[in-house]
């Protein structure tokens, strides 16, 4: 009989925590016991897993007794305080917040790209990258292996679900008000997104970038293990509920063209190529929702920079951009290096 694991999901009532539960169930992860963890406010409520109601417990050191896997998606403050405690009790910790991503003793892992980095985890913690970084590096991995990335210019078109369930509800209210011609209330979105675009991430004053953009710079270099890769990002929030899209332009050290890039991507794990633009076939966020792959299309030679390549990359930000990637890390580490490939 294959090994079963006691699993704690910290932040079980949030959008990503709920998606983690769905992914664990859909992928038939070998869970012997589920411990859903949330704030004191949510303690005593229930979540459904495999047809059974499970009572949510408030976080405490005792929660992690005997836990083999602790999936964290409850914000950076919670992760900084409680992830080391979970790890000290023997759990493999996979953290979805930004708290540990830049820590040199915490690997930052996307299984299709650098699962081998997970073996070196002196703190017992593995960090899940930013959602936009994940889908981009999955798409660029085969090209980097073949020709070494030199520069990446990326513009993200990020769905509001990345800001949480309350922001989604507020956006739905905004959309209704906008459609009815009424004054639009900002609510939990923080500004009016309906009929508009936003750039509301925390500014990085020194650089003029947003923190969301700088995450993509630092994380891409760390994941690929190459701090010479130049990354120029622009992050934009768009009026879409779920599914992040990216316009990506790359330069490589070795020769590469669109035809070869397409062939590499068609064989890459975790990637589905949808690329017949003449017939209107290209990835769309609505088609990625609830799906596991990273979708790539509009693969073309850069007309303004011979030798460069452009592409369009789309994925479900709550799934591959968060919950699925975390579960795949656990599969790769606890079950086997090929377990996440399905």
207, 209, 41, 236: which is closest to 132 by C-alpha?
A: 236
Taking residues 117-130, report their average pLDDT. 97
Q: Do residues 153 and 122 share a domain?
A: no
The catalytically annotated residue of 54, 117, 144, 244 is: 244
Locate tokens 């709550």: which residue?
Answer: 318
Q: Active site includes 244?
A: yes
Q: Do residues 274 and 157 share a domain?
A: yes
Three-state DSSP class for residue 77: helix
Residue count of the chain: 342
Long-range Cβ contact pairs of 216-222 (< 8 A, separation 24 or more)? 216/130, 216/132, 216/133, 216/136, 216/154, 216/156, 218/101, 218/102, 219/101, 219/108, 219/129, 219/130, 219/133, 220/133, 220/136, 220/137, 220/152, 222/101, 222/102, 222/108
pTM, entire model: 0.96
The catalytically annotated residue of 54, 117, 131, 144 is: 131
Q: Do residues 296 and 147 share a domain?
A: yes
CATH number, residue 25? 3.40.50.720
pLDDT band at 125 (very low <50, low <70, confident <90, very high): very high
Q: What is the pLDDT of residue 205?
A: 86
Mean pLDDT of the chain: 96
Q: Do residues 203 and 329 share a domain?
A: no
Q: Do residues 228 and 256 share a domain?
A: yes
Q: Do residues 204 and 313 share a domain?
A: yes
Taking residues 36-54, report their average pLDDT. 94
Q: Do residues 49 and 140 share a domain?
A: no
If phi > 0 it is left, if psi is from -120 to 50 it is alpha, else beta; for residue 241 that is alpha
Q: What is the pLDDT of residue 341?
A: 87
Domain assignment present for residue 33? The answer is: yes
Q: Do residues 108 and 231 share a domain?
A: no
Residue 148 has pLDDT above 90, yes or no: yes
Q: What is the pLDDT of residue 2?
A: 80
- The CA distance from 32 to 50, in Å, is 12
Q: Do residues 124 and 249 share a domain?
A: no
| Segment 56-105, tens digit of pLDDT | 999 999 999 999 999 999 999 999 999 999 999 999 999 999 999 999 99
Percent of the chain with pLDDT over 70: 100
For residues 333 and 92, the answer to whether their CB atoms sit within 8 Å is yes
Taking residues 208-231, report their average pLDDT. 97
Domain assignment present for residue 340? The answer is: no
For residues 213 and 235, the answer to whether their CB atoms sit within 8 Å is yes
Q: What is the domain extent for residue 94?
A: 5-129+322-335
| Segment 13-30, tens digit of pLDDT | 999 999 999 999 999 999
Residue 1 has pLDDT above 90, yes or no: no
Domain assignment present for residue 89? The answer is: yes
Q: Active site includes 131?
A: yes
Q: Do residues 169 and 120 share a domain?
A: no
Q: Do residues 123 and 144 share a domain?
A: no
Q: What share of the chain is helix, strand, coil (3-state, %, to 5)?
A: 35, 25, 40
**Total number of domains in the chain:** 2
Cα three-residue angle 91-94-95, rounded to 5 degrees: 125
């Amino acid at each position: 009989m294959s090994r079963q694991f006691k699993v704690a999901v910290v932040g079980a009532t949030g959008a990503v925590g709920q998606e983690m539960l769905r992914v664990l169930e859909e992928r038939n992860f070998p869970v012997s016991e589920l411990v859903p963890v949330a704030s004191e406010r949510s303690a005593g409520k229930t979540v459904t897993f495999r047809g059974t109601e499970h009572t949510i417990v408030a976080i405490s050191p005792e929660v992690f007794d005997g836990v083999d896997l602790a999936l964290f998606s409850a914000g950076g403050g919670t992760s900084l305080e409680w992830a080391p405690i979970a790890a000290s009790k023997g759990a493999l910790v996979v953290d979805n917040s930004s708290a540990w991503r830049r820590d040199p003793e915490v690997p930052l892992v996307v299984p299709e790209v650098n699962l081998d980095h997970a073996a070196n985890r002196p703190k017992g913690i593995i960090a899940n990258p930013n959602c936009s970084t994940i889908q981009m590096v999955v798409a660029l991995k085969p090209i980097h292996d073949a020709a070494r990335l030199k520069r990446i210019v990326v513009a993200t078109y990020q769905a509001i679900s990345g800001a949480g369930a309350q922001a989604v509800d507020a956006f739905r209210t905004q959309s209704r008000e906008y459609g009815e011609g009424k004054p639009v209330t900002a609510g939990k979105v923080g500004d009016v997104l309906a009929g508009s675009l936003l750039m509301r991430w925390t500014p990085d004053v020194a650089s003029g970038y947003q923190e969301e953009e700088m995450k993509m710079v630092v994380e891409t270099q760390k994941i690929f293990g190459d701090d010479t890769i130049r990354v120029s990002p622009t992050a934009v929030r768009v009026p879409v509920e779920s599914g992040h899209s990216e316009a990506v332009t790359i330069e490589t050290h070795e020769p590469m063209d669109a035809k070869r890039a397409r062939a590499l991507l068609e064989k890459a794990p975790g990637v589905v190529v949808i690329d017949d633009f003449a017939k209107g076939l290209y990835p769309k966020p609505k088609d990625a929702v609830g799906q596991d792959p990273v979708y790539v299309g509009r693969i073309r030679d850069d007309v303004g920079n011979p030798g460069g390549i452009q592409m369009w990359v789309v994925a479900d930000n709550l799934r591959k951009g968060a919950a699925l990637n975390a579960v795949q890390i656990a599969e790769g580490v606890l079950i086997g290096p090929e377990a996440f490939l399905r």
